[in-house]
Structure 1
Amino acid sequence: MKKLICSSLALICIAASAVSCGAKKEKEKKDEFIGKWQCEKIVMEGEESDNVFGIEASALFQIELKDGNKGTINSLLLTDDGEPADIEWKKSGEKVQLINDDIFEDEEVFLAKEGDKVVIDMSDEGDEKENKAYLVKVDAFKEMPEDPFGGLSEEDDEDSDIEIETEEE
């Protein structure tokens, strides 16, 4: 009888440890995209850079993916006034699709894992050279620049003091 109780107890312990290990691995896999992702470098037409027109790469994409398929994106290229915009996300195979009809319009935007980074492929079909943004996981985002475009605005274009002289015949 003692053998039966000891054997049963040992079997229960082994089964419990196997079940808990499986749940932990599944949770870790689910969480691989969750967190704060900030652009580290960008590749345009095959040329790698840490800035675009003098704007630091970190200001191009700051994406936070949260539990519950919610998140935010902050991008000088996509959002207004450097303020984060709400997004939703869903897992699609080994990638994550970012969803916000106002920002992405009809475009499908995906994050794909490459080692410890995520990549946004911005290449159009038929592009000969790659166009990608590489994002790294961070604890906190860098601050967005206050005036990344040097004070230029649409109003400046209309009220420009620049005069163009033409030769009269």
Structure 2
Amino acid sequence: MSEVDTKRPGQIILGWWSQNIGAREAAHARALAARLRRAGPVAVLSEAAVHDLARVLRVTEAAALIRLVQVLAEVREHTSRPLASALGGDPAAMSALRFQRLMRVSDDDLTDALRRAIAMADRRCNVAALGEDMLHWSEKTRSRWCFQYFGAAAPDALKDGADASDEEISQ
């Protein structure tokens, strides 16, 4: 089994983000992030780095891949704090009503809604957790985000399966 096979998807995503778009002091990272933020679906899929990520993650659904990289391109700094936690708190970066709308947004509008949310969180969050959530966006993910937003401990049922604990994927 190779090293890639033993890594969680979040760890792979964080490594890819760090190498390709996270180091904004490098011209190539700034340029790729800008292209991904502004690009349409075909232009996103025209980037070799995007296909490198898809190959390692074994992502075959183009829409999920596009959504993932466009959302990641908005993040400027990796922290240990999940995006939902960064949006909540006292004072909250995002109002509870706006957060409720974010949780109800359709898959078609998810990318734009999350990009706006990332901007409200000062473009800082846990890249690994965000990446895994983008790959496995579901009712379970939305429920976990609600607990994170309000700073409450999530039930164990929301922590199992494809979702990892914040400690595991913040490294």
TM-score range, shorter chain: under 0.3
Which structure dedicates a bigger proportion of its chain to helix?
Answer: 2
Which structure dedicates a bigger proportion of its chain to strand?
Answer: 1
If the length of structure 2 is used for normalisation, what is the TM-score?
0.24
If the length of structure 1 is used for normalisation, what is the TM-score?
0.24
